[in-house]
Amino acid sequence: MTVTVPFVNGTSYSTLTAFSKDSFQEAVKFYKNLLALDQRTADDTSALLSNGPISIKLTLKEDAALHADAMKARSHLLDPSISDDWRAKAPTSLVFNTMDITEVMNRFRALILPIQAFPNDINPLLLYTVDPLGNVIGVTATKNAISTKPCVPASLLAEEQQKMKHELASKAVSYTDLSSQFTKTTNAYPSLPTKTNASKADKAIAVMTSGGDAQGMNSNVRAIVRSAIFKGCRAFVVMEGYEGLVRGGPEYIKEVCWEDVRGWSTEGGTNIGTARCLEFRQREGRLLGAQHLIEAGVDALIVCGGDGSLTGADLFRSEWPSLIDELLKTNRISQEQYTRYQHLNICGTVGSIDNDMSTTDATIGAYSALDRICTAVDYVEATANSHSRAFVVEVMGRNCGWLALLAGIATSADYIFIPENPPVPGKWQDGMCEIISQHRSHGKRTSIIIIAEGAIDTELNPIKPEDVHKVLCDRLKLDTRITTLGHVQRGGTAVAYDRILATLQGVEAVNAVLESTADTPSPLIAINENKITRKPLIDSVALTKSVADAIQAKDFEKAMSLRDTEFIEHFDNYMAINNADNGIPKLPADKRLKIAIVNVGAPAGGINSAVYSMATYCMSQGHKPYAIYNGFSGLVRHESVRSLEWKDIIGWQSRGGSEIGTNRVTPEEADIGMVAYYFQKYQFDGLIIVGGFEAFVSLNQLERGRDCYSAFRIPMVLIPATLSNNVPGTEYSLGSDTALNALMQYCDVVKQSAASTRGRVFVVDVQGGNSGYLATTAALAVGAQASYVPEEGISLPQLSQDIKMLGESFKEAKGRGRFGKIILKSTNASKALSAKQLADVISAEADGAFDAKVAIPGHVQQGGLPSPIDRTRATRLAVRAVSFIESRQDVMKASRAADEEFDVDDKDVFETAAVLGVKGSHVVFTPIRQVYDNETDTDKRMPKIIHWQKTRDIADHLVGRKKVNVK
């Protein structure tokens, strides 16, 4: 098996000895399959396996006694009755490095190998197995998990290999060539890869947008075009959707270059146009499309659109063999063209504001449309409050109520109408009026009703805003207004999430078409939680259409079940928190709890949303919610504990900052004994901490204090909330999306100023402490020319290269809009260079070709109102946190009862103090002890694994930034 990018690297050269022919052959097969190594040389007694950075030499020395000893040692390691750590039992081990340990885990499992994972199977840092010779083999996702020596640059590998030729790599020796993980680039601008693969060099990839437009489509097109060029392919755009395919010619199927898509991320709509095409629905239209693609030399097509557009794309591919047969028979293409374009690879990325595609959590444009809705509702609620009015807000969503549902959660709407859960005719009026009357009687001055444009009752009769308006006016005598948002929801530029989602999906789409074969089903690029995934396009489309079919068949239970699990979870959450004040608890009296919530750390968007959702969900369940005001210092100094009442938290869901106050003081700093005293006084049954790294440390202190203080023997959960997104145990923190949007909007404005001045670069100072997450993701969202982060620092060679690239970029720029340049610098990226000093250096080294100014957004980055993502995720995480506390009560009650026998190290006990986070495609609870001890760099206040590193590489690649390996 030949690989161009090493599957693993690390230990440079090792010689292993087998003592029997069978074990020798098994070992050769083992290392070839496990590590994807090439067999360079081989004879009866030796074999050299290598992928470039690492080499393994296997030798055969037949000796029955030594073979027996080796097999005995191997059997001892694999004895299922002994659960010892293999690292403690083996005198030596081979250790390799990888950028994707999940892929390694999957390979281990596919080969049915014994595995030991550390610290756990869900998010391992280290994986171990045993080879056929009895050696322990390790793979780590850290840069160097075992050695204290620095990484060895590629240029020194050969020298190091010579030193190691006669050594068996041990636990103390492990080298990593990080340069092997980056695409090799030339010195030309932009920094493109050398064309080494002839077939890829000739590959032509086209992208088109089809159906309704959606914010983020331009980001998707930009990413596809530049990724295709970056990988040595020709890039094309198809203008005006399928209509462009049918019309054909260079006017509609255009080859584009790197500079053609500069700045597209900041623009709304789709610059290559979109249209619905009746001709393409007919075979003759698809025949013309095939002919025009072949004439243009295109052999792969990426379609960004909704389910109708993607259905057409998959049909196009399935018909392709018959289409080109017909084109050849009618002499519309040559035999050479027929042979060259036997197969058409197609991939789909979903652009739709309705978020109606099954198998993906989000579609491109959906969160931008939701942002427009929430902004509009926030505005109308202000005037509604002034006049004590009701507003009926109609939003888009023909067969999907996602926009209405999420907007209902994000704005605390009183009532929503969605097609998946239609009311009974003649009864929805009573239900709506009852809830609104109830809310009004408890002191609420506003009433917001959100209705999807596809809202129906169970008899499929449409429910219109006018119908709702009439009921509110006639029955409740409310001063009611109707607001129909219409195409405003499609307008404006994309929010940060959609820019990043569209970009990452565009990059993955190019990878997918390059890896596809004639037998590969057309893929759909999806996202599940925080992970970009590939799904079969035709299955996703069929599942999506089945929802509409179920609705038409009046099988609404099936329609709801066919939505993704996150949709169902959001719906259940909305129903629970919206009925919080009805006075009918869901749980019996003996199951009701006292649950406290406290904010620790700096303010972050979504904190108030988490408090509001926790409190209202507790009320609906029958629990008593308490707020600890002003953190642990407020508790110790002022006994600042207050029960939360429904009328007191009206409007908190959409407020920024922290209504209950927050600071960075941990329990030990405040006086952990007094914290325990007040916990005991109020008899808390559970605790939810919302905050950043200080909150993370606080949870660890409380969990460790259980041995001395029985008051802490309750379930405790941390909901990470910090713009830095530096809390270990999660890839997402509340507030990071709000901060990212605030920074993105700031950069867009500054970039416009730079474009107006021409010849100017702005160096933007970015918050985030020792975390480069905010700078990295913002760089991807705004197309920054470079970003400097604490994880990498600022080296003079890299800075010199970036200044050179900026000069070349200004030379290539054409048109005023392409002169604006942005560089992002994390405040802690360099101790020597502040943002101002960095701008001065750039100006001095530019030698008059351009100049640099500094821009410092400061606390603007904390954001104003929380973004819809932070609001809705806060609700989701808060409800899960309460459910976690409910489910762990029996364990902790038993531990409190047996005070003298309490075992703080009992697995069931320490798992009741956990970090609630998103890891890949899962939402997980990870015990704080496990995360703190194994996954945390406490000195840097950072997780050991930097989960956004791949995003960083993509951001650099898409602006043509050349990375310099510093020796």
Structure tokens at 290: 């095939």
**Residue 708 labelled as part of a binding site:** no
**Residue 840 labelled as part of a binding site:** no
**Residue 398 labelled as part of a binding site:** yes
**Residue 276 labelled as part of a binding site:** yes
**Residue 876 labelled as part of a binding site:** no
**Residue 212 labelled as part of a binding site:** yes
- Residues 420, 403 contacting (CB under 8 angstroms): no
- Residues 876, 573 contacting (CB under 8 angstroms): yes
**Residue 717 labelled as part of a binding site:** no
**Residue 587 labelled as part of a binding site:** no
Please list, residue by residue across 19-38, b when 16 or more beta carbons sit within 10 angstroms of its beta carbon and e when fewer do. bbeebbeebbebbbebbbbe
Over its C-alpha atoms, the chain yields an Rg (Å, rounded) of 30
Three-state secondary-structure class, residue 655? coil
Query: Between the CA atoms of 44, 46, 49 and 55, what dihedral angle is there, to the nearest 10 degrees?
Result: 180
**Residue 723 labelled as part of a binding site:** yes
Q: Is the dihedral of CA 400, 406, 411, 417 positive or negative?
A: positive
- Residues 406, 566 contacting (CB under 8 angstroms): no
Where are any strands of DSSP class E within 284-384?
300-305, 345-350
**Residue 453 labelled as part of a binding site:** yes
Catalytic residue among 213, 314, 354, 361: 354
**Residue 493 labelled as part of a binding site:** no
**Residue 760 labelled as part of a binding site:** yes
**Residue 653 labelled as part of a binding site:** no
Three-state secondary-structure class, residue 898? coil
**Residue 352 labelled as part of a binding site:** yes
Three-state secondary-structure class, residue 15? strand
Calpha distance 554→930 (Å, rounded) = 48
**Residue 194 labelled as part of a binding site:** no
- Residues 218, 265 contacting (CB under 8 angstroms): yes
Q: Please indicate whether residue 354 is annotated as part of the active site.
A: yes
**Residue 354 labelled as part of a binding site:** yes
**Residue 769 labelled as part of a binding site:** yes
Structure tokens at 145: 């998990």
Q: Is 466 buried (19+), middle (13-18) or exposed (0-12) by CB count in 10 A?
A: exposed
Calpha distance 619→580 (Å, rounded) = 5
**Residue 837 labelled as part of a binding site:** no
**Residue 370 labelled as part of a binding site:** no
Closest to 181 measured CA to CA, from 55, 5, 1: 5
**Residue 620 labelled as part of a binding site:** no
Three-state secondary-structure class, residue 653? helix
Q: DSSP code of 493?
A: P
**Residue 724 labelled as part of a binding site:** yes
Calpha distance 169→164 (Å, rounded) = 8
Calpha distance 549→618 (Å, rounded) = 37
**Residue 563 labelled as part of a binding site:** no
Q: Which amino acid is at 115?
A: I
Structure tokens at 309: 């557009």
Contacts of 254 (CB under 8 A, 6+ apart): 236, 237, 239
**Residue 941 labelled as part of a binding site:** yes
Three-state secondary-structure class, residue 391? strand
**Residue 888 labelled as part of a binding site:** no
**Residue 249 labelled as part of a binding site:** no
**Residue 306 labelled as part of a binding site:** yes
- Residues 13, 166 contacting (CB under 8 angstroms): no
**Residue 215 labelled as part of a binding site:** no
Calpha distance 123→936 (Å, rounded) = 13
Query: Between the CA atoms of 573, 579, 580 and 582, what dihedral angle is there, to the nearest 10 degrees?
Result: -160
**Residue 864 labelled as part of a binding site:** no
Question: Within 683-834, where are the H helices?
Answer: 693-704, 736-757, 773-782, 796-812
Which residues are known binding-site members for Mg(2+)?
307
* Binding site residue list for substrate: 352-354, 389, 396-398, 453, 481, 487-490
Question: Residues with catalytic annotation?
Answer: 354
Binding-site members for ATP are: 212, 276-277, 306-309
Question: Annotated binding residues for beta-D-fructose 2,6-bisphosphate, as ranges?
Answer: 664, 722-726, 760, 767-769, 853, 859-862, 941
Q: Which residues are annotated as a binding site?
A: 212, 276-277, 306-309, 352-354, 389, 396-398, 453, 481, 487-490, 664, 722-726, 760, 767-769, 853, 859-862, 941
